[in-house]
Chain A
Amino acid sequence: MKTRVVITGLGAVTPLGRDFATTWTNLLAGKSGVRQITSFSTDGLSSRIAAQVGEFDPEAYIDKKALRRMDTNEQLCLVAAQMAFDDAGLKQDSLDPDRCGAIIGSGIGGIQTLEEQHKTMLDRGADRVSPFFIPMMIIDMCAGLVALRFGFRGPNYATVSACASSAHAIADAFHAIQRGEADIMLTGGSESAITQLSMAGFCAARAISTRNDEPERASRPFDRDRDGFVMGEGSGILILESLESAKARNARIYAEIIGCGMTCDAYHITAPLPDGSGAAKAMALAVKDAGIRPDEIDYVNSHGTSTDLGDIAETKALKTVFGDHARKLVINSTKSMTGHLLGAAGGVESAVTVKSIKESIVHPTANLENPDPECDLDYVPGKAREMKINYAISNSFGFGGHNISIIFAAHHAQ
C-alpha cells in the first residue's frame, strides 16, 4: 500500500491578504484584489491593471542583510514558507533534516532583478553588475533559501511549467513522500513578475485584460464579457507530510492529497487545445491515480483564468471527464479575485481547495454576471456556498500546453 500523504500547514501572501487567513476571508466575501498599477510607468501598455501584493512586511521574517539579497519573488516565498511551517506546528529542532525537503515552483523567477541589473549594465558597464544578481534571479533559489532557513537536507529543487509550475511542485512533493524519500515536504510556488518588461510581454501576447477603467471587474472567468486574465503575484505554500509523521506529532490535518495526473496538449505554444482534451486526460488520470470514481468528485477549483479560449476548453474538459455528473460539480475560480498568480497559482489554489474541504464552504467566482453560453456549468456566481466536500480537484494549465490536476480528499473520506 502506498504511503498516505496529508496537508498539515498552509501559508500565503496574496493580493487579497498578507497571510492565508486574510486571503481566505476576502475570497469568501468575493473581494477583488485587482487595482490600477501605480508602482511603475504603464505608458504604452495596453493593460494597466494588476493584482499586486503591495506592502507585506518581509522585515518581520527575514533579516535586513539577507533581505537585500533577495528578489521580491524569494521574499514572498520565504514569508509564506515561514507561515506554513508555523501553521503546521513544526519545530526545527524536533525534525530529522534528512527527511525534510522543499520543491517550489515559479513561472518566471527574479525578473525584477534581471531588469534592474540589465539596466545597470547598459548604463554603467558590465563590471557594475551585482554579485547577487544570479542568486536573486534563478528560480530554484526559493527552494534553496527555504532549505537554508529550516535546515532541510532532503529533496530540493524548482519546477517550471509556466502557470502550472507550483501544481507540478506539489505533485512532485507528494510523490517524494509516497516513494519514501522524505516525511515532510514544503511545497507550492511563488511569483513576482508584475514589472514593466513582463507586462509589456504579456500585453504583446494579447493574453491579458485591458479593462483598465474597471480593475475590480476585469478578471471574470466564464463570463461572456471576459477579455483575458489579470496579472497577479504572491506565494502559496503547503506542508505535505506522511500520515504517519502527522499522526506521530499529533498534527492538525487539513486534508489528504490522493492523486494527480499530468499531460501536455502538444498543440500550440500558448493556446489550449480547443476541445480541452489534454486537460480532460489530466483530470481522468488524476481520478484513476486517486482510485476513486469520477462521480465522487464534489468540487473543482478550476484553472479558470478569464481567457476566451481557456474557460471554454476547461468547461469542455469537465464535460468529457464527468459526463452527466459535470452538471452536479461545484466549480469556482480563485483567479476571479486574486488575478493570475502564474507560477504561484497552483500553490495558492491548492491551499484554497484544502481549506474549502476543511471548512465545508467554497468561495464564489466573482464578476460572473452573464455566463458565456459555452460555459454552462455551476461556477458559484455571486456568493460563497456551504457544502460538504469529500473529494476535490485543483486544475492548473500552463503556456507550453502543460496540464495538471491534483485531487484532495477530506481526511475522514479515506
Chain B
Amino acid sequence: MSIEARVKEIVMDKLNVTAEQVTEDASFVEDLGADSLDQAELVLALEDEFNLQISDKESENLLTVGKAIDYIKQHVKEE
C-alpha cells in the first residue's frame, strides 16, 4: 500500500470519517472535526505505522492530510 493510502486509512479510522472527506486539502481540525486529543492520537498512530518519531513542534505543522503525507514521505522510504 502507498504512503498516501496508509495515511488516509489511519485518518479515516481515528477520526471516523469517510474516504471522500479525506482529501489532501482537508484540514484535520476544520474539515475532519479533530480536537487536540484526536490530533495527539493521530500522531501516535502515524509514528507507530511508519516507525518514526514526530516531535511536538513538527506535529504542530501537520495541519492537513496533505501535509502529513508530505512529512511522512520526507522521513520514510517507500517500501
Q: Decide if A61 is an interface residue (CB 8 Å cutoff).
A: no
Q: Total A-B pairs in contact (CB under 8 Å)?
A: 16
Stretch at the interface among B21-29, B37-45, B61-69: B37-45
Task: Verify if A91 is at the interface (C-beta below 8 Å from B).
Answer: no
List of A residues within 8 angstroms of B10 by Cβ = none
CA distance A128 to B48 in the complex (A): 9
B44 and A130 form a contact (CB under 8 A): yes
Which secondary structure characterizes the binding site on chain A?
loop
Type the 1/0 row for A131-151, where 1 means its CB is closer than 8 Å to any CB of B: 110010000000000000000
Q: Does A43 make an interface contact (CB < 8 A)?
A: no
Complexed CA–CA distance, A128 and B41 (Å)? 10
- Which residues of chain B come closer than 8 Å to A93, judged between CB atoms? none
Nearest CB to that of A132 among chain B residues?
Answer: B37
Q: How many residues of B contact A (CB 8 A)?
A: 7
Q: How far is the CA of A131 from the CA of B36 in the complex (A)?
A: 9
The interface size bin for chain A is under 10
In the complex, chain B residues whose CB is within 8 Å of the CB of A268: none
Closest to A64 in B: B16
Chain B residue at smallest Cβ distance from A129: B44
Partner of A131, one of B15, B16, B44, B48: B44
Which of A65, A128, A130 is B16 in contact with, Cβ under 8 Å?
A65
Residues on B with C-beta less than 8 A from A130 are 41, 44
Q: A128-B44, A131-B44 are in contact. Are A65 and B15 (CB under 8 A)?
A: yes
Contact between chains at B16 and A132 (CB < 8 Å): no
Q: Which A residues, 49 to 84, have Cβ-Cβ distances below 8 Å to chain B?
A: 63-65, 69
CB closest residue in chain B, given A131: B40
Question: Which residues of A lie under 8 Å from residue B16 when comparing CB positions?
Answer: 63-65
A260 to chain B, nearest CB (A): 38
Tell me the complex Cα distance, A130–B41, Å.
7
- Minimum C-beta distance from B66 to chain A (A): 22
Bound complex: CA A311 to CA B16 (Å): 50
Nearest CB of B to A68, in Å: 8
- Measured in the bound complex, the distance between the Cα atoms of B15 and A128 in whole Å is 19
Complex Cα spacing A69 to B44, Å:
15
Instruction: Give B1-34 as 1s and 0s: 1 = Cβ < 8 Å from A's Cβ atoms.
Output: 0000000000000011000000000000000000
- Give the distance in Å from the alpha carbon of A131 to the alpha carbon of B14 in the complex: 12
**How far is A65 from B11 in the complex, measured between Cα atoms in Å?**
12
| Set of chain B residues within 8 Å of A63, measured between Cβ atoms | 16
Shortest beta-carbon distance, A132 to chain B, in Å? 6
Residues of A within 8 A of B37 (CB): 69, 131-132, 135
How far, in whole Å, are A63 and B33 apart by their CA atoms in the complex? 14
CB distance from A128 to the nearest CB of B (A): 7
Query: What B residues does A135 contact at CB under 8 A?
Result: 37
Annotate B36-76 by CB proximity to A: 1 below 8 A, 0 otherwise: 01001100100010000000000000000000000000000
Point out residues on A near B: beta carbons under 8 Å. Answer: 63-65, 69, 128, 130-132, 135
Q: Could you tell me which B residues sit within 8 Å of A by CB distance?
A: 15-16, 37, 40-41, 44, 48
Can you report 16 A-B residue pairs in the complex whose CB atoms are below 8 A from each other?
A: A63-B16, A64-B16, A65-B15, A65-B16, A69-B37, A128-B44, A128-B48, A130-B41, A130-B44, A131-B37, A131-B40, A131-B41, A131-B44, A132-B37, A132-B41, A135-B37
Which 5 A/B pairs are nearest by Cβ-Cβ distance? A65-B16, A131-B40, A131-B37, A131-B41, A64-B16
New A-B contacts (7) at CB < 8 Å, excluding given A131-B41, A132-B37 = A64-B16, A65-B16, A69-B37, A130-B44, A131-B40, A132-B41, A135-B37
